A and B are shown apart, each in its own frame.
Chain A
Amino acid sequence: MARIDLDLAHAYKPNPQRDEDYALLPLKMSFEDGGAYALLGPSGCGKTTLLNIISGLVTPSQGTVKFGGRDVTGQTPQQRNIAQVFQFPVIYDTMTVAENLAFPLRNRGVAPERIRQRVGQIAEMLEMSGQLNTRAAGLAADAKQKISLGRGLVREDVSAVLFDEPLTVIDPHLKWQLRRKLKQIHHELKLTLVYVTHDQVEALTFADQVVVMTRGRAVQVGSASALFERPQHSFVGHFIGSPGMNFLPARWADPGIEVCGQVLPMATNPLAGEGRFALGVRPEYVTLAAPQAPGAIAGTVTQAQDIGTYWLLAARVGEGEGQQLIRARLSPEQRIPRVGDAVWLSLLGSHTCFYRDDVLIDNDNKEVAA
């Protein structure tokens, strides 16, 4: 077990020139010993590449990987002593479940008695004790994936366990169960876990720290609440949350900021410097306001949907080219406006964020309050 430090970039092609040539743009990142991390991002954003670089399946084209301060960039997965579970089940067809689970230990010459013990423990944890002597090849996909998980967890002394979307092939109810199991294992064994996924619920429930990635770039590392409250990049705002953050083009028009042709009065200008500015506010923090209320904007309801525990409202604000859609999550207790109704939506509050060229402007929250 060790702290993992990454300071690297990776391109699969030789001589990368532009940003697009890189699978991973230069990044610096640390995974603390015993932490539970998630790499979250859409398909093709480089998260699997990053995982494979940590495990040693891929050698980064630039930079270094360090385990506990020791440079392991040139080392094989075996030398790094890492465990990795893949997206699709990988099992050894000709072996039984027990032999599959024992394989990583047998290859490392662990004593047979110890192997038997570990395999027993892991099988019990995965609720596979009854199937230990069946041929692995005949099992269903989720059972096979449990074997893959088991092989990843069977060694106790690993530097880290890496998961590459391991629950893709698993049924929803079992998915939830296994995720809880992993969380439990993390608490018991204090292993460093890195979990790749494109599912934000999975990432946010599993990990203490989530790394959000897009197009080869790690745009934010943070806890679930940080990602939700203060998205460092508009991509994070869009990607995290359901629906994602509202982003409205904004500019300073003394004494306030102008959004969709309407000026919201503000004491100080939060839009420092030059660039393309935007106001970001989560649908959860958009509330209905009285007409002409400060910090509120007028619009017309275009959609009102009952999502079960809340209502999802979409309202059109502004005219012509500058027209924008604002989404709001409203509690069902209040009176829900109907489609076509004119509404005032409050946008400014302590949860409102401002962005310059898609990057969060780090203002002190209190100043922004209306």
Chain B
Amino acid sequence: MKPVNQKAWLLILPVVLCVAFSAVLPLMTVVNYSVQDIISPERRVFVGTEWFKSVMRDEDLQGALLRQIGFSLAVLLVEIPLGIGLALSMPAKGARSSAVLVMVAISLLIPWNVVGTIWQIYGRTDIGLMGAALAKLGIDYSYTGNATDAWFTVLLMDVWHWTPLVALLCFAGLRAIPDAYYQAARIDGASKFAVFRFIQLPKLRGVLMIAVLLRFMDSFMIYTEPFVLTGGGPGNATTFLSQYLTQKAVGQFDLGPAAAFSLIYFLIILLLCFILYNWMQRVGQDAATTEGAAHG
């Protein structure tokens, strides 16, 4: 039998420590809260899975979860195609390309609460450009009074804020396609659509996967912008999971249920990302091995 060298454990110690301090320990404090009822700093009672059970039964939370899933799906359905389209129409070379890149990236540089504020003013029917214009057109628009309008505004704001990210990723992906592919397509007499369908889209698979995961995770955790814009209203029409959680933890100081819900929230994101990632991997499984680099 081979002698086992236990010293090898030392080699992974730095990673273990890093992960422990950055992820496991903070998470453990949440786990700690989620199984106790903290009445005062000196008095705490172990309640087991009680908080988890109550949170799962919470109808407000179920509503927030459904809204959240709907919102994230809408974000993906709008931003991914729009981002691809934007990237395709951006100039590829020269000074114009750089100028367009900077312009497209501007919204990504704005702090999130400023984005919320911008749209809050933009949508106001008295002084906001969009709100006033809609009012002038005779459209009864109010993001504070009408649930549909509030949804529309929040979604529009997210599309405005984050589509450029998808566009920039796709732009980089498009630039990485060797010229020979386009030349071959011209020789083969491929139409513009065929070029998109059979060359560009398959070659964008990698960056699109990143774009979908990023946009999904970010939109699923959205907090600041709707908080500033609508405050979750009207009613709780735009109260998404993060905001609901904050209300529970900070507003009502229900630390136990909030901690239990945090863990569930975390697991939901983890699970959905896992499913998305695997699904997208499988969609292009065979295409994965193709990095037929071609130069001149």
Q: Say whether A associates with B.
A: yes
In the assembled complex, A138 has its CB within 8 A of some CB on chain B = yes
Count, chain B residues at interface, CB 8 A: 26
- The answer to whether A262 has its CB under 8 Å from any CB of chain B is no
Residues of chain A lying within 8 A (CB to CB) of residue B214 = none
Give every chain B residue within 8 A of A104 (Cβ-Cβ): 187-189
Looking at chain B's contact residues, the main secondary structure is helix
Say yes or no: A86 contacts B188, CB within 8 Å. no
CA distance A107 to B198 in the complex (A): 12
A78, B186: Cβ atoms closer than 8 Å: yes
The answer on a CB contact under 8 Å between A88 and B186 is no
**Residue numbers in B under 8 Å from A55 (CB-CB):** 187
Q: CB of A93 within 8 A of chain B? A: yes
Q: Fill in one digit per residue for A66-96: 1 if any B CB lies within 8 Å of its CB, else 0.
A: 0000000000111000111011111111110
> What residues of B have a CB within 8 angstroms of the CB of A138 in the complex?
286, 289
- Per-residue contact bits, chain A 103-132, to B (CB 8 Å; 1 contact, 0 not): 110011000000000000000000000000
Are the CB atoms of A82 and B187 closer together than 8 Å? Answer: yes
Residues of B within 8 A of A89 (CB): 292, 294
Pick the residue among A77, A88, A137 that contacts B187 (CB under 8 A).
Answer: A77
> CB within 8 A of B294: which of A86, A92, A107?
A86
Q: In the bound complex, do residue B286 and residue A78 qualify as a contact, i.e. CB atoms below 8 Å apart?
A: no
Chain A residues near B189: list those with CB within 8 A.
77-78, 104, 107-108
Is A151 positioned at the interface, with any CB of B under 8 Å from its CB? yes
CA gap between A57 and B296 in the complex, in Å: 13
* Residues of A close to B199: CB separation below 8 A: 92
Chain A 36-80 interface residues, beta-carbon cutoff 8 Å to B: 48, 52, 55, 57, 76-78
Interface residues of B in 182-238 (CB under 8 A from A): 183-184, 186-191, 194, 198-199, 202-203
Q: Is B293 an interface residue (CB 8 A)?
A: yes
With a cutoff of 8 Å between Cβ atoms, the chain A residues found around residue B27 in the complex are none
Nearest CB to that of A104 among chain B residues? B188
- Which of B178, B187, B203, B289 has a CB less than 8 Å from the CB of A84? B187
Q: Within 8 Å CB of B191, what residues of A?
A: 107
Is B252 interfacial (CB-CB < 8 Å)? no
User: Which chain B residues lie closer than 8 Å to A88 at the CB level?
Assistant: 178, 180, 292-295
- Chain A residues within an 8 Å CB radius of B152: none
B294 touches A93 (CB 8 A): no
The answer to the question of A144 belonging to the interface, with a C-beta cut-off of 8 Å to chain B, is yes
Q: For residue A152, which residues in chain B have a CB less than 8 angstroms away from its CB?
A: 187
* Contact of A246 with B by CB under 8 A: no
Contact of B108 with A by CB under 8 A: no
Question: Are A90's CB and B184's CB within 8 A?
Answer: yes
Contact B188 A103 (CB under 8 A): yes
Residues of the A chain whose Cβ atoms lie less than 8 Å from the Cβ of B293? 88
Is A148 an interface residue, CB under 8 A from the partner?
yes
Chain B residues 270 to 296 lying within 8 A of chain A, measured CB to CB, are 286-290, 292-296
Return the chain B residue nearest A162 by Cβ.
Answer: B187
* Contact between chains at B292 and A94 (CB < 8 Å): no
Do the beta carbons of B194 and A86 come within 8 Å of each other?
no
A135 with B286: CB separation less than 8 A: yes
Measured CA separation A87–B183 after assembly (Å): 12
A94/B184 in contact, CB under 8 A: no
Name the interface residues of B4-36: CB closer than 8 Å to any CB of A: none
Q: Cα distance A48–B295 when bound, in Å?
A: 12
Quick check: is A182 within 8 A (CB to CB) of the other chain? no
Q: Which of B181, B191, B288, B296 has the most CB of A within 10 A?
A: B296
Closest chain B residue to A79, Cβ basis? B189
A90, B202: Cβ atoms under 8 Å?
no
| Residues of B contacting A151 in the complex (Cβ-Cβ under 8 angstroms) | 184, 188
- Contacts A135-B286, A137-B286, A138-B286; A90 near B198 (Cβ below 8 A): no
Residues of B within 8 A of A78 (CB): 186-187, 189
- Of A57, A91, A93, A107, the contact of B190 (CB 8 Å cutoff): A107
Give the residues in chain A near B203, CB-CB below 8 Å.
Answer: 93
Q: How long is the Cα–Cα vector from A77 to B185 in the complex, in angstroms? A: 10
Chain A 151-163, CB-CB to B under 8 Å as 1, else 0, gives 1100000000000
In the assembly, what is the distance between CA of A86 and CA of B288, in Å? 22
The CA-CA distance from A91 to B191 in the complex, in Å, is 16
B293's closest neighbor in chain A, by CB?
A88
A141 adjacent to chain B (CB < 8 Å): yes
Given contacts A83-B187, A108-B189, contact A90 B286 (CB under 8 A): no
CB < 8 Å neighbour of A57 from B178, B183, B294: B183
Q: A93-B287, A107-B194 are in contact. Are A84 and B294 (CB under 8 A)?
A: no
Interface 1/0 per residue, B148-185 and A, CB below 8 Å: 00000000000000000000000000000010110110
> Which residue from A48, A52, A91 sits with its C-beta under 8 Å from B292?
A91
Check A137/B186 contact, CB under 8 A, given A86-B294, A87-B294, A93-B202: no
B188 and A94 contacting across the interface, CB-CB below 8 Å: no
* Min CB gap A336→B, angstroms: 44
Q: Are B198 and A94 in contact (CB under 8 A)?
A: yes
For A92, list chain B residues within 8 Å (CB): 198-199, 202
Sample 25 A-B pairs with CB under 8 A, ordered by A number.
A52-B183, A57-B186, A83-B187, A88-B178, A88-B180, A88-B292, A89-B292, A89-B294, A90-B180, A90-B181, A90-B183, A90-B292, A90-B294, A93-B287, A93-B290, A94-B198, A94-B202, A94-B287, A103-B190, A104-B187, A104-B189, A107-B188, A137-B286, A137-B288, A151-B188
Name A's B-contacting residues (CB within 8 A).
48, 52, 55, 57, 76-78, 82-84, 86-95, 103-104, 107-108, 135, 137-138, 141, 144, 148, 151-152
